[in-house]
């Protein structure tokens, strides 16, 4: 079983209706799919791969070797502990923030600023597709994320690496979770697998498709769509070979934005609508999520609804 691969360029041609249907299926039935021909230049994507891999080697690798997961796994292998490392992830990760850019390689900042600019445009096109398929006014989701103020939505990027693990059966690459925010755009490794999603009670691999962008929806889209587009559980497996590169960008609401099901979608007229969601401020949800990221999703909604 493989997640859908959709040619995004056909959205502007004679196959628009078919492509919109494929995208609707990707959101409703999978919650994860891959876009090809998405408009981001391949030359730029190749530069992104290069600078992120070089950044890990030059600035991050030594630090990971001395990290807590590595120390804990070494203790386990040496017989000082007999439990799987359930509360650690075999991951090196950092978030890109203005004013806090890695110094190596020198072209890192310029490349990633350009990449983030292109990716943000793609995210907004994807949100317009959601608007249309859900029968909402164009720009509805973007406006909801902005808290009805311009440019207040948050667009963040995390650069992760999952180095080779000597005992991958004893530790998670990244524990199973759903994403807290809105739309997630992942530029994953071309060769090293590891990403899995939970589909119909079974963990399935997200296949590698060179230079594709993996799209998935976060908890806030589930709420805004009143359950039509559910956030999906996913995880990263630790692997014995290869250093998996993973660059995830998040188009999230402003922390002050009020999130609630779109009124047009609150009447249960379709079989997909099975749950009422609370109205809440996104910052309050993030406070709950920070403590419950790896725990069941429904109690998170219940907890923030009680605030």
Q: What is the pLDDT of residue 305?
A: 83
DSSP 100: B
8 A C-beta contact, residue 183 and residue 221:
yes
DSSP-based three-state secondary structure for 245: strand
Q: What is the pLDDT of residue 81?
A: 64
Q: What are phi and psi of 193, to 5 degrees?
A: -80, -175
105 preceded by a cis bond (ω within 30 of 0): yes
Q: What is the pLDDT of residue 1?
A: 80
Listed residue (196, 227, 215, 201) closest to 28, CA to CA: 227
Q: What tokens were used for 133?
A: 């398929």
Q: What is the pLDDT of residue 214?
A: 98
Listed residue (248, 201, 229, 303) closest to 91, CA to CA: 248
Q: What is the pLDDT of residue 19?
A: 97
Maximal C-alpha separation, the chain: 63
Q: What is the pLDDT of residue 268?
A: 57
Q: What is the pLDDT of residue 272?
A: 52
Positions of the chain with pLDDT under 70: 80-82, 148-151, 268-275
The structure's pTM equals 0.93
Cite the beta strand spans of 27-98 per DSSP E.
32-36, 85-89, 92-96
Q: What is the pLDDT of residues 63-80, one digit of tens each?
A: 999 999 999 898 888 876
């Amino acid at each position: 079983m493989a997640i859908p691969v959709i040619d995004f360029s056909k959205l502007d041609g004679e196959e628009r209706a078919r492509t919109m249907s494929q995208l609707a299926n990707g959101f409703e039935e999978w919650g994860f799919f891959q876009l090809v021909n998405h408009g981001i230049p391949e030359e730029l994507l190749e530069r992104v791969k290069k600078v992120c891999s070089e950044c890990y080697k030059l600035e991050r690798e030594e630090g990971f070797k001395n990290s807590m997961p590595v120390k804990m796994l070494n203790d386990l292998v040496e017989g000082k502990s007999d439990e799987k490392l359930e509360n650690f992830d075999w991951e090196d990760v950092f978030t890109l923030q203005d004013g806090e850019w890695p110094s190596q390689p020198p072209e890192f900042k310029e490349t990633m600023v350009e990449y983030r600019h292109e990716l943000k445009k793609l995210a907004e096109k994807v949100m317009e597709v959601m608007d249309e398929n859900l029968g909402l006014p164009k720009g509805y989701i973007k406006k909801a994320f902005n808290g009805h103020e311009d440019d207040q939505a948050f667009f963040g990027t995390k650069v992760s690496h999952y180095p080779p693990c000597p005992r991958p059966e004893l530790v998670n690459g990244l524990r199973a979770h759903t994403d807290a925010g809105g739309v997630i755009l992942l530029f994953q490794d071309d060769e090293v697998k590891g990403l899995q999603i939970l589909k119909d009670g079974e963990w399935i691999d997200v296949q590698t498709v060179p230079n594709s962008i993996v799209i998935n929806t976060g908890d806030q889209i589930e709420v805004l769509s009143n359950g039509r587009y559910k956030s999906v559980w996913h995880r990263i497996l630790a692997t014995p070979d290869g250093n998996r590169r993973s660059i995830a960008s998040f188009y999230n609401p402003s922390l002050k934005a009020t999130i609630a099901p779109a009124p047009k979608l609150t009447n249960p007229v379709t079989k997909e609508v099975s749950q009422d969601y609370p109205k809440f401020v996104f910052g309050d949800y993030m406070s709950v999520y920070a403590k419950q990221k790896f725990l069941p999703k429904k109690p998170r909604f219940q907890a923030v609804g009680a605030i």
